[in-house]
Structure 1
Amino acid sequence: MTSGIHHITAITRKIQENVDFYAGFLGLRLVKRTAGYEDADQLHLFYGDAAASPGSLITFLAWEDGSPGRVGLGQPSEIAFSIKPEAIGFWLTRALRYNVAMTGPVQEFGEAVLRLKDPDGIIVKLVGEADVEGPAPHVLKDIAAADAIQRVRGATILSEAPAATADFIQRHFGFRKVADANGILRLAGDAGDILDIRDASGFWTSAPGTGTIDHIALRAPDRAAVEAVAGRLANEDAGDTNMHDRTYFYSLYVREPGGSLLEYATDGPGMTVDEPLETLGTRLFVPRHFRADPEDVRARLPQFSLPGEERMRERDLPFVHRVHNPENPDGTAVVLLHGTGGNETSLLPFGARLAPGAVLLSPRGRSADEGYPRFFRRLTAVTFDQKDIVQEAEAFAAFMEGANAAYGLNPDKTLFVGYSNGANMIGAVMLLHPGLIRNAVLLRGMNVLETVPKADLSGANVLMITGQSDPYGRYAGDLEAHLKAAGAMVENTLLGAGHDIGAADLELAKAYKERVIG
């Protein structure tokens, strides 16, 4: 085992664009897709060479709603990949053809360097490294083996204490100083990977967020080595450390004196511990400690397409939303409206179990209640902002008109499912915009309109499911009466439940969907 870089982890907001850049443009292989270890609803993507070799890996945490970070002190600022020096021309041409922002080539420490920016603004360097031979370069039909990225070359760390940062990395992780020029102290591992420690004294501090590098992971031979380093760090009071079994490696985290987060990660057991090399990166891994159903997690995570795969892009519509495409579509769709405190992912597992073959469309409410998304504001527990309801219902009608066209949804084959505030929104939209919603399941719904307009809902089908001990259940009858008076066919089922929904609601909704839209 030689010292070096195991992987580098950054943060992306633009998931499809990230895949297009790293797998499509750079030609890396997607070698693993997981739910986050700290948050099961966070997608984590790993790219690498054809064999997912340590030292070739770059990973991304997906923050769809994350604010852009700020590159500064106490943070890595650049990622570098090795290519063969004669491949520089190929990448110059490729960047121009793909309209990727680029500067260079320039000479740095005697090597030709091209600088690119990924879709989130992270600087990616392609470094012409003499005599480089990666363990297993990933070869695509439009990237020959001689031009392919060989491995991770290194990273740049911004530090206002560069000497202390370099000393820390050398003493604990096996790197050595090989050069010092132009404010950069260069360290190298035994594998030839480099860490450039840039003196950034007087620069602003970093802020975490999308478009930044979270940490650099350095290579450890085994768990014993990780634990030995943890012991040494504790003895010298180097700050907080924590160790984790990440399934594919065992590691510890620590901050170096300049503030950058470092990980010390074992080479083994490796990325093929739970799936064969041939199909690497095709299945989702969910950490066991969440005790979550992988299918529920899968439904909540954002979808993306690899280069060459058919894709459905989320369109720019009035509501932030998530579209989930089934593996075996049956021509139906389910539109899911969450309750207070939820968001566009909350009901996706319910929708996936309700209709495995349906396209799922789940918008996020645009009004806020104590910081939580809602579809309209409430004034008290049972009174609501009438102007907000009317305006948001109109916006939702425009959203559905755009969504039907953008995603090819058939209104006759679409079931609207709402819970609590989402159910109330569906009921209001049906009465304010008759004809838009033809099939609906309202979970714990009530009427929220103080003035109910005349509407023709003939042909509309509604299942209301009311909790027997739901404190709001006594208001459900008013909504039922208004819908029936407008001509809708309404079934109101009383469950031995409260305001929460569960398996009984799912079974009733499944049976109802089969009856009304198949």
Structure 2
Amino acid sequence: MTIEIPGLHHVTSIASNPQQNVDFYTEVLGLRLVKRTVNFDDKYTYHLYYGDEVGNPGTVLTFFPFEDGRQGRVGRGQTSATAFVIPEGSVDYWIDRLESRDVDVDTPHTRFGETVVPFRDHDVQPLELVTGTSDIEPWADGPVPADNAIRGFHSVTLDSLNPEKTRAVLETLGYESTAQDGERMRYRASGNGNRASFIDVLARPDTPRGQQGVGTVHHVAFRTPNTQTQAEWREPLSETGLQVTAQKDRQYFMSMYFREPGGTLFEIATDGPGFTRDESISELGTELKLPPWLENDRAMLEERLPEIEPASITEAN
């Protein structure tokens, strides 16, 4: 293969109340709401995107918020944690920030030489802050001081039903094994510089199987530069027996999906055209954006979707 996966593109999860979702990820974590649209496969549900200032690939955590959704259970066959990079020296700041906002935080520990702060959001989704470096610049106008602000993704952890086959898929995608600690094996994208490059695979055969719902990850997306390189992935993936979907237009990127044998839904997403295709940088996330094929439904959707108030972000603190 001459094409490479540079790293993670985005992670999509399932949430409950959309307003609480906006409040937590913007006001508490300091991410920017870069796009509010709808789930193109379920137009009566929001699709909310959070990231750095412009939603660069490797920074974007997205949500389908279902107000009456069933609570999920994180376990085998799922992504068991999504991790963000924070700068060295910012651990105490983040513990104080999270605890002062009544966030459920665990005791920090060391993993592969990095400090990890595990915590959970308001829907009990497992998240982590991991000390490290990244080529992502923090959002200058966010509520978290730049010296401490999140700098995109660090990794995801896959609690696989079949770790050996999950690792084989990652190797097909060009990931390379770099370390192992007990039940955890770390992989790094071979085509990445220093952004969202890690995936950890767990081998825990005796733990319960997960159940998708609120507080769980829906899918994990990998980067590819454009639709041509995206299409080139079909053959090597199909040769391993994976069922790959057609290319789908998600407006801000093109997508192909397949479910890896360990249970996680994977996506390969193009880097462009990006979130500024229909909003200026200063206006990102301020209005409901719909694809052309749903514009005729705008009035009905705006009436039916719950109202979302902008986050009350003030000075960094």
Normalised by the size of structure 2, how large is the TM-score? 0.92
How far off its partner does 1:142 sit? 4.4
| Residue 81 of structure 2: aligned partner | 78
Report if the CA contact (8 A) 1:115-1:124 is conserved.
yes
CA contact (8 A) 1:14 1:119 kept: no
Q: Is the 8 A contact 2:9 2:223 kept in 1?
A: yes
Corresponding residue of 1:175: 175
CA apart distance, 1:125: 0.3
Distance 2:274 2:142 in 1: 27
Aligned mates of 1:184, 1:219 — CA distance in 2: 23
Aligned pairs for 1:177-256 (under 5 A) are 177-189=177-189, 190-192=192-194, 193-256=197-260
Is 2:71 the counterpart of 1:42?
A: no
Identify the match of residue 299 of structure 1 among 296, 303, 308.
Answer: 303
Alpha-carbon shift at residue 23 of structure 1 (Å): 0.4
AA aligned to 2:180 is D
CA deviation vs aligned residue, 1:181-218 (integer Å, no higher than 9, x gap): 12111111224421110112132222221111001100
2-side partners of 1:225 and 1:252: how far apart?
Answer: 12
Counterpart in the other structure of 2:125: 122
Superposed displacement of residue 237, structure 1:
2.5
- One-letter code aligned to 1:127: V
Report the secondary structure of 1:149's partner residue. Answer: coil
Q: Which residue of 10, 15, 26 maps to 1:7?
A: 10
Q: Provide structure 1 residue ranges, at least 5 long, that are not aligned to the other structure.
A: 310-518
Match for 1:268: what amino acid?
G
Query: 1:254/1:86 Cα in 2 relative to 1: closer, same or farther (>3 Å)?
Result: same
- Counterpart code for 1:206: G
The offset of 1:111, in angstroms, is 0.5
Taking only aligned residues, the RMSD between alpha carbons, in angstroms, comes to: 1.7
How much has 1:2 moved relative to structure 2? 5.8
Asked if the contact 2:31–2:142 (Cα under 8 Å) also holds between the matched residues in 1, the reply is no
Q: Select the structure that is richer in strand.
A: 2
For residues 193 and 206 of structure 2, the distance between their equivalents in structure 1, rounded to whole angstroms, comes to 33
Q: Percent identity?
A: 35
Tell me the amino acid that sits aligned with residue 204 of structure 1.
P
The 1:157/1:301 distance shift into structure 2, 3 A limit, reads same
For residue 234 of structure 1, report the CA deviation from its aligned partner: 2.6
**1:107 pairs with 91, 107, 110, which one?**
110
The within-5 A match list for 1:29-428 is 29-129=32-132, 132-140=133-141, 142-171=143-172, 173-189=173-189, 190-192=192-194, 193-290=197-294, 292-308=296-312
* Structure 1 residue matching 2:233: 3-state secondary structure: helix
Higher RCO, 1 or 2 (CA under 8 Å, sep at least 6)? 2
Number of residues of Structure 1 aligned to a counterpart in Structure 2: 306
Distance 1:176 1:141, change over 3 A: closer
SS of equivalent to 2:82? strand
Rounded Cα–Cα distance in structure 2 between residues aligned with 1:115 and 1:23? 18
Matches within 5 A, 1:17-32: 17-32=20-35
Alpha carbons of structure 1 residues 56 and 182: separation in structure 2 relative to 1, 3 Å: same
Q: Could you tell me the TM-score, scaled by structure 1's length?
A: 0.57
Give the counterpart letter for 1:112 in structure 2: T
Q: Describe the superposition over 1:209-246 as per-residue Cα deviations: whole angstroms up to 9, x where unpaired.
A: 11110011000111111111123323332135342111
Check conservation: 2:84, 2:150, Cα contact below 8 A: yes
How far apart in 2 are the matches of 1:13 and 1:79? 18
User: Which one has the bigger helix percentage?
Assistant: 1
